Amino acid sequence: MATVTYDHVTKRFETVVAVNDFNLEIPDKEFLVLVGPSGCGKSTALRLLAGLEEITEGNIYIGDQLVNHVSAKDRDIAMVFQSYALYPHMSVRDNMAFGLSLRKTPKDEIQQRVHKAAQILGIEELLRRKPRQLSGGQRQRVALGRAIVRDPAVFLLDEPLSNLDAKLRVQTRAELSKLHQRLGTTFIYVTHDQVEAMTMATRIAVMKDGVLQQVGAPQELYDRPHNTFVAGFIGSPAMNFFQATVKGHRQEMHLDTGGFRLPVPSSRVNHLLPYLGKEIIFGIRPENICDPRCQPSSNEAAPVTAMVDVTELMGSDVFLHLVADGKPFMARVDPRTTARPGQEIRVEFDMARAHAFDPETERAIGPGEKR
């Protein structure tokens, strides 16, 4: 078992900076998820740790060992790729055992490790089959099994669920979380899917354009995003953003979006005092906007009149696509809502859960502000 440390790591591909001054410490046994849009550098950061790319600047440590110039096979890591990369002519058993055979591991130990990994993953009955006889989910388990038999200090997983259908992704997410608990090993997982990150991670590291934006527990990133990028990326549907001007005074402050006015809760007044008369970016999540006809109002509710554009029934929720004074936004409301397209309705913003950001730096103002 081992900690992993990125110390001012930079990776350049000619003129492109894929990873820029990346600093991150991953404690032993943590399940860390690197998340961000395509091209943000998350897979490159993983490949640098695996030894599949050379570091341009900085250092990477596994435990106390500097691994910059250690070959990939000697880093005590196991990697699971997006493509299963199974040998089609080999049985499941032989696929799982292949890496151990190359390392001259005794046959009895290979058999024991393969059997144990197959038990953990529930694929004992598949050991004699060839990859072509397996479903996508079964192939993914075999790829995981091939990593497990190595008994590595660190597991690296590069978008391993992207080839699975939606139902199987949900099932496999739960299996991976249980696997992490059972093995007690450091997991570093790369994905562009923030739902995967929120449901599996001990901590999430959000990246954009090669730069680390924020690291924290899933709920921390959801409740206290440091900037508009993290706020918009974490959470589904994404946070609504409005340009708003801070008006009034300390005793009675409000936000004016041009289409509606929202009172500022007393708990947020001090944070926004420096912005009186200035513009900010106001953010609120769809789930913090309710239809008061079917949901109880919060103590800090602010009414807004809007036109219903589209409704999306999700079973447990209804997504309302709304427009107020030409500004589109989304609400996630109780399924008992009677709102229909073309109808004007009143919704309520829970201002106690609202967010504010500086329009120039895009950094959070107040509770989410980076210290």
Same structural domain, 245 and 200: no
**Of the candidates 203, 233, 263, which is a domain's last residue?**
233
What letter would DSSP give residue 130?
A: -
The enclosing domain of 85 has a CATH number of 3.40.50.300
The enclosing domain of 245 has a CATH number of 2.40.50.140
Same structural domain, 75 and 211: yes
- pLDDT, mean over the chain: 91
Same structural domain, 65 and 195: yes
Residue 371: inside a domain:
no
Q: Which of the listed ranges 95-109, 125-139, 159-173, 269-283 does the model predict with the highest average pLDDT?
A: 269-283
Same structural domain, 218 and 247: no
With a cut of 90, say whether residue 351 has pLDDT above it: yes
| pLDDT score for 368 | 60
Same structural domain, 267 and 226: no
DSSP code string of 195-208: HHHHHH-SEEEEEE
31-40, 142-151, 276-285: least confident range: 142-151
Same structural domain, 76 and 219: yes
- Cβ neighbors of 116 (< 8 A, separation 6 or more) are 149
Query: pLDDT-based confidence at 143, cuts 50/70/90?
Result: confident
Same structural domain, 153 and 272: no
CA nearest 304: which of 354, 349, 357, 251?
349
Query: pLDDT-based confidence at 371, cuts 50/70/90?
Result: very low
What is the identity of the amino acid at 3?
T
- The average pLDDT across 121-136 equals 89
| Measured distance CA(43)–CA(159) in Å, rounded | 9
Tokens encoding 208: 């954009």
Q: What does the pLDDT look like over 149-173, one tens digit per residue?
A: 888 889 999 988 877 778 778 888 8
| pLDDT score for 116 | 87
With a cut of 70, say whether residue 369 has pLDDT above it: no
Percent of the chain with pLDDT over 90: 70
Same structural domain, 229 and 265: no
Same structural domain, 65 and 150: yes
- The average pLDDT across 321-333 equals 95
CA nearest 220: which of 197, 193, 242?
197
Same structural domain, 228 and 247: no
Print the domain residue range for 308. Answer: 240-357
**Of the candidates 211, 233, 255, which is a domain's last residue?**
233
Q: What does the pLDDT look like over 204-247, one tens digit per residue?
A: 999 999 999 999 999 999 999 999 999 999 998 999 999 999 99
Same structural domain, 225 and 108: yes
CA distances from 243 to 220, 256, 278, 290, 351 (A): 24, 9, 10, 21, 16
Same structural domain, 84 and 221: yes
Task: Choose between 275 and 100: higher pLDDT.
Answer: 275
Residue 367: inside a domain:
no
| pLDDT score for 297 | 78
Count of domains forming the chain: 2
| Measured distance CA(70)–CA(165) in Å, rounded | 37
| pLDDT score for 370 | 59
